[in-house]
Structure 1
């Protein structure tokens, strides 16, 4: 047992050279913004800026209000952070507080995300018994995918859940090998991602389910397995008690305006309007074709663990596509579909498992290196393209109807506000219009 723990700890230790390479690649990815000094104000930017600014001001003024927003969202008192990952909100709030302006915060948060995602994927692949070279290659490839780029390019918070997901999946190899519940790891890791991004925690649980069911069926100590599982579930609820208490105490006597319902979900799938998830990087599509082809050809040679992971990957590939009648589900008021909003989010676990299977089957160093180089170049080019609209006079705020710009301010004034030390100026000029989480006093028509 001591030997196994020592071996596991060695696998989770990040090789210094790989860590330095991950940091270097992360720095290369933020270089376009460092060169151009351009911002990316996309669909969810102002929403997250407001909630993180509120957290930062609470820290700065030592005036903590867990529920309502005192400083963000035009001091409207809407409840956001209490529902939307309070711990991660305060961590970002601290980063906002330490940043000189919104531009610095955006660059720093992007850099941290890239490093975190690379280290997380490296940990997952090392836990899966890959050598240092392949683990590092897979980590950099993951940094190049839209699962991570969703935040730098559009401020989609799914990327923060995606950054942690491989790390949370690193325990599955213990479950496959030893047919037991890892002590304290399952509860802690599930709570960690739940505190970060709730939908990502749902994806994690869906991925865990067939793996733990398999272990339960195969183990000879089923009673011990159930007891250990109850312990981990209890630990999870204990570590996420703040969210559960908040939700039930507030919703019991209050009504809120829920986030918008996406009535065109089918167009937000990877095979329709969101195909960019498949081609960032371009090599990802080639990897998908080769992994699926090899999977069906070599199915009989796969052991049980690989079969489960392969089927899990195919399952999420299907639900991230328009094969599922998402529009029909919305028309029939499916509450699950309404919560999901964007099916392309289910492509995150596909990306992780796809890289895992590709690293497992590809022994060509030149091919792996070529994919990494092409991926890095593509990300840098994308970052230059995505920051270019900031130089225009009419499309520099790319959030559509989700924000409104105070008409009394010139274009230069609006842009300059994001570089001011007083971060509240930008949030007063560019206001969020969608009424998510505001109190509902009358029933909507």
Structure 2
């Protein structure tokens, strides 16, 4: 019995250390009960609350936003992680407050990313000690901490990135069966349902692994078939995502996300911080040492050589040393699609840290130094020092951002934010209130994403975010909003005189607009898709519905059925594996 307990404890220690790291980093927020709020927080909280209300009321509208985003009817969730939004909406409904939601999702991101990095290093034959150190380092750099610090969706891509690299490593390690279609399909489906941009990074990252695997495999035709099966299955399971993008873009000129200066958002060496677009000097030095080590021992390990060189290329390409000004001029769409070149570190850091774990293991076991314990202690000491270098500023950042919640500022960033209230006390209370909808009525984000731009405004220069604030946010409170059955939205108002008025709602080609019982067909729209109608004196009522194409309804059913079957199969495999797993960790 004692032996089994010892083995169980020994197996669980790395996972306990990962959980402890997550807890320590989050400790300032946990003891202060502060909620870190920023520009992205307001945007995503609107998305998730919209999904929560639809689930609560049983009144679903896949495209039209009826409860949030100023009840404007604009499309967001359908083209931005739709099923993930509903999952977060269900979680918010269960937890009740934004504070609890932040704490639980922070833990999921930190622990999920940490375990993924640990398992990745173990798969590449790193020792458990160095696999753990690499995972603790990973938890404190790049985009992974940004979910707690700013609710950036790139954090979820960073959390899943180690699992993606596992698929790549398998292509190098297993010459007979380099591609396992089910894990690859599952991973790509999950990331597409969460963050489409991260899925593009994942595909690009896997390309060189696939090419090398295809060259080395003893069963090339089998590898191609497995890959094709994974691709086709992923397309089926994510039909709701690409189908929505297709339907929305067929008849609408959809506004892209805001443009950003590419060079200013590239990876920068830093003295103190290592999240988002910064990386401390010592990490640069660590990665440089790793690169030099691999160059000197490139025949020692194909996996180490591959992940280090590929990771180095990506991290340099994400940095200020890449010609981003020229690239942005040559390909203007990059400035609003990629926006931040530092996003590429989502895939670069797992690759480089995996290389560090492999090299550290090889170095300690090799014959480079005469004394085993000395080289082991030096290597561990360097990695622990690096962890402290990134952990301390990360925790301080959490402390400062949490403290800002108690200040007069409340928000950590106010860019693109429209303040509806000056009552900071009420704003703070809203994140702990069991009615989380209060928060999103007090601060609102003027986001131009996915607005339908009429043709005559396509080439005109104007800032759509300010147009949205002027036309929607500033006038939404002047109307009474009511959510109708079957996903409809109703606006009511009393007019002192008849005449032309612009409504604070967004209409698309697929929208059905009815004024005082009469269906409108030919009406003018503003620069962001807000309709102009002729009101009558007295009471006026408008209803808005979004017509969903029959073929898209079929795609949703196909995607949902496929995901349910995948979930049931995963549960079946998990239950079947439990006895053997328990026996393995206690043996």
**TM-score, scaled relative to structure 1:** 0.89
**1:144–1:280: 8 Å Cα contact kept in structure 2?**
no
Q: Does residue 85 of structure 2 align to residue 74 of structure 1? A: no
Distance 1:93 1:194, change over 3 A: same
Distance 2:160 2:345 in 1: 15
Counterpart position of 1:430:
443
Give 1 or 2: higher helix fraction: 1
* Deviation of the 1:350 alpha carbon: 2.0
* Deviation of the 1:375 alpha carbon: 4.1
What do you get for the CA RMSD once the two structures are aligned? 2.3
Distance 1:30 1:49 in 2: 20
1:146-165 equivalence runs, <5 A: 146-165=142-161
Per-residue CA deviations over 1:218-273 (Å, capped at 9, x if unaligned) read 224322222222112111111211111111122112232221011x1101111279
Counterpart position of 1:380:
395
Question: Any idea what SS the aligned residue of 1:66 has?
Answer: coil
Distance 1:169 1:300, change over 3 A: closer
Moved more, 204-213 or 355-364: 355-364
Per-residue CA deviations over 1:258-303 (Å, capped at 9, x if unaligned) read 21011x110111127997447667753342232133233x154344
* Deviation of the 1:131 alpha carbon: 2.7
Distance 2:127 2:318 in 1: 31
Distance 2:282 2:321 in 1: 23
* Deviation of the 1:374 alpha carbon: 4.9
Distance 2:390 2:311 in 1: 22
Moved more, 376-385 or 159-168: 376-385
Distance 1:234 1:46, change over 3 A: same
Counterpart position of 1:295:
294
Counterpart position of 1:7:
none
1:43-442 equivalence runs, <5 A: 43-179=39-175, 180-262=178-260, 264-271=261-268, 276-277=274-275, 283-296=282-295, 298-362=296-360, 363=364, 364-393=379-408, 395-407=409-421, 409-441=422-454
Larger radius of gyration: 2
Distance 1:73 1:46 in 2: 10
Give 1 or 2: higher strand fraction: 2
Distance 1:137 1:359 in 2: 8
Counterpart position of 2:26:
30
Question: Any idea what SS the aligned residue of 2:444 has?
Answer: strand
**1:147–1:351: 8 Å Cα contact kept in structure 2?**
no
* Deviation of the 1:370 alpha carbon: 4.0
Distance 1:321 1:366, change over 3 A: closer
Question: Any idea what SS the aligned residue of 1:58 has?
Answer: helix
* Deviation of the 1:338 alpha carbon: 3.0
* Deviation of the 1:426 alpha carbon: 1.1
- Flag structure 2 segments of 5+ consecutive residues without an equivalent: 1-9, 365-378, 461-587
Moved more, 265-274 or 412-421: 265-274
Distance 1:350 1:115 in 2: 19
Per-residue CA deviations over 1:119-176 (Å, capped at 9, x if unaligned) read 1112211211223222222222211113211211122110011101101221223211
Per-residue CA deviations over 1:5-42 (Å, capped at 9, x if unaligned) read xxxxxxxxx94222222222212222101222222112
Question: Any idea what SS the aligned residue of 2:194 has?
Answer: coil
Per-residue CA deviations over 1:312-368 (Å, capped at 9, x if unaligned) read 112211220133332333334532443100000111222112211211222433333
Distance 2:126 2:270 in 1: 35
Counterpart position of 2:469:
none
Higher relative contact order (CA 8 A, sep 6+): 1
Question: Any idea what SS the aligned residue of 1:431 has?
Answer: strand
Question: Any idea what SS the aligned residue of 1:400 has?
Answer: coil
Counterpart position of 1:11:
none
Distance 1:98 1:286, change over 3 A: farther
* Deviation of the 1:384 alpha carbon: 0.7
Q: How many residues align?
A: 428
Moved more, 233-242 or 34-43: 34-43
**1:269–1:322: 8 Å Cα contact kept in structure 2?**
yes
Distance 2:262 2:117 in 1: 29
